[in-house]
Chains A and B, each alone.
Chain A
Amino acid sequence: MTLSLIRGWSAVYWRELLILRRRLSRMAASMAVSPLLYVVAFGWAFGDRHMPDGRTYLEFLIPGLAAMASMTQAWSMASEINISRFYWHIFEEFQAAPVSHLGYVLGEVLGGVTRTLLAVAVICGIGFAFGVPLHLGPLFWLAAALNGWVFASLAVASAMLVRTHADQALATSFIITPMGFLGGTFFPLERLPDWARSAVQLLPVTHAAGAMRPASYGLAPPLFSYLLLAGLGLASFLLAARCVDRARD
C-alpha cells in the first residue's frame, strides 16, 4: 500500500539523473561561478578578519554559501519543471503514466536534493582550494539535504502554480534571493536588530546555515534546526503533491 502511494518515483528520479549526467560538467562549472566570486570578493576583502568566535571570515562564509546553494540549487528545479511543463510539454509524459502524484513529487524532489548535494560538494571543494578547514560529517550533509528537500518541494509546488516562466523568475527575485542573503549566510545574525533577527529565524535557510556552520566546524549543531527543516520538508512535500493534482485542471 505504501509503495503504491509513491508509484513511479524511481522512473522520475532516473530521468533526472540521466539529465544530470548529460549536463554534469556544465552544471558543476556553473555551480562554482557564484560561490567563487563571493569567496574572491568577500573572502579576499575580509578573509583574514576574525569573527567573534575567533574563526576567519572565510571559515564562516563557506558553510553559509553551502547553505545558500542548498536552497538555490533545489529551487532551480522550479524553472526546469516550468520549462518542461509549458515549453517542452514533458510533464504530460508523467501525467499520462500510471505514476502517483506523491511518486512524481518524490522523484523530482530527490533530483533536487541530488543537485543540492552536488552544489554543496563544489563549494566545499572551493573552500578546500582556499585552505578553509571543513569537517564534512553526516550532520553537515543531512542539513544540506533537508534544506534541499524543503526547497525542491516548494519548487515543484511553485512550478505547478505559476502560469508563465516570467512569474517563476519573479518568485525567485522577490523571495529566494533576499532569503539567500539574509538567512545567516554572509554575516552573523547577532549583528541584526532584534526584530530582524526574529524575522529571519522564520526562514528555513537560516536554520540550514545555523546547522551546517557548526557541523562544518566539527561542533554539535542544534537539533531544533533539523527537526524544523524535517517538518517543513514534510509540509512542503505534501503541498507539492496537492499542487500536482490541481495542475490537471
Chain B
Amino acid sequence: MLQIHKTCHDSAGEGQAEGRPRASAAPMIQFEGLTKSFGKVQALAGVSLEVGAGELFAYLGPNGAGKTTTIRILTGLCRPGGGQVRVGGLDMAADPLGVKRLCGLAPQAVNLDSELSVAENLDVHGRLFAMPAAQRRERSAELLEYVGLTDKARAQVKALSGGMKRRAMLARALMHSPRVLFLDEPTAGLDPAIRRRIWALIKQIQQDGTTIFLTTHYIEEAEFLAERVAFLDQGRLVALDAPAALMAGLGAWSVDVVDNHHMESRHFATREEAQEFAASQENGFTVRRVNLEDVFMACTGRKIQ
C-alpha cells in the first residue's frame, strides 16, 4: 500500500497510485489499465485496482471523476475502452453473464419500477437471475424484513419515501445473494438520519460476508464505512489506503484559516501545535480533526465537492 505523500507526489507527476487489496484477502474485484472515453472526454485513464473478498471499499471523487463509469464497466452496463476486469476470478470479457451473476447493483438513480409493488420488484429481479419461485418468495420476505420494509411489501414503489426506496433497492440488489455489491452513491439526497440507517445496513451486509464496492462523494460516509478508500480525480487514481492511514499522512489536526473569502487549511501532528498556529492568526479560523477531504485537497489542490 502506498503512503499518502508518495501517492500525492505521483499524482503530480507521471504515475498513478497502485491498488492492492488487504494482504489477508484474496482479490474479489480486479481491474487493470481500465480506460473509457466518451467522445473527446476521457472518463478513465488507465485505472488499476484490486478489492479483497469481504472488503468494504470506497471509491471517492468529485462529480465527473469517473466513479460511476467504473461501476458501470464493472457491472457490465458499459464496455471499457481498454483494460481487463475480473470479478470473483471470472473475466468480464470472456464471461459477462457469469460476472453479472456474482454482482448486485444499486445504482445512483432510483430505478425501481414505480408502478409495481416492492415485492413485485424483488420478484422480477429474482426471475432475471433465474431463481426458482419458492426461493424468490422466501428470499424476498427475508430481505424485506432485513431492510425494515415488510409492511410495505405490497405498496407501490411510487408511494414510498426516498429512504424507503433506497432500502428497497438494497433489498433488490441482494435478492440473488451476490458475492459483490456495487453501491453507487447509496445515500445521495437523503437526510442525515436516513443516511445513518442506510450506513448501518451497509455495514451489516458486509458483516454477512458480501464484498462491497461503494462510490460516494460524502467524505464522512467513506470515513465511517470503508476499510480502504481510493481517490479518483479526472479518471486517474490519486490515492489509495485505509482512511486512517491516508489521514495520518497529513497529521491529526487541521486549522482552516479564512482570509479574503479564501480558505486555507494547515495540518498538524498534535492539537497543541494546531492551537498554537491558530492563536497566531489575525483572521477567523477553525480547529478540527483532519478528514479525507484534506487528503483529497493535498493530492489534487481541489475540494472534493
Binding site for B on A (CB under 8 A): 7-8, 10-12, 14-15, 18-19, 22-23, 88-90, 92-100, 248-249
Contacts and interface: CB of A to CB of B under 8 A. Distances in A.
A19 B101 contact: no
Q: Which 10 A-B pairs have the closest CB atoms?
A: A11-B127, A97-B128, A89-B111, A98-B97, A11-B128, A98-B100, A89-B109, A96-B105, A15-B124, A95-B77
Contacts of A97: 100, 125, 128-129
Contacts of B125: 93, 97
Contact of B124 (A14, A89, A92, A98): A14
B77 A99 contact: no
Contact of B128 (A88, A93, A248, A249): A93
A13 B116 CA distance: 14
Contact of A92 (B101, B111, B113, B115): B111
Contacts of B77: 92, 95-96, 248
Q: Is the interface of B mostly helix, strand, loop or mixed?
A: loop
Q: Point out which of A92, A96, A99 has the most chain B C-beta atoms below 10 A from its C-beta.
A: A96
Q: How many of chain B's residues touch chain A, expressed as a range? A: 20 to 34
A99 B76 CA distance: 11
Given A8-B128, A15-B113, A92 B100 contact: no
Contacts of B79: 248-249
B107 A14 contact: no
27 contacts: A7-B130, A8-B128, A10-B127, A14-B124, A15-B113, A15-B116, A18-B113, A18-B116, A18-B120, A19-B115, A19-B116, A22-B115, A88-B114, A89-B107, A89-B109, A89-B111, A90-B113, A92-B107, A93-B111, A94-B128, A95-B76, A96-B100, A97-B100, A99-B97, A248-B77, A248-B78, A248-B79
Given A98-B98, A248-B76, 15 more contacts: A11-B124, A11-B128, A11-B130, A14-B127, A19-B115, A22-B116, A88-B111, A88-B113, A90-B111, A93-B111, A96-B100, A98-B97, A248-B77, A248-B79, A249-B79
A105 to B, nearest CB: 15
Nearest to A104: B128
B75 interface: yes
B111 A99 contact: no
Contacts of A14: 124, 127
A10 B128 CA distance: 8
A230 B111 CA distance: 35
B75 to A, nearest CB: 5
B97 A7 contact: yes
Contacts of A248: 76-79
A89 B185 CA distance: 15
B118 interface: no
Contacts of B114: 88
Contacts of A18: 113, 116, 120, 124
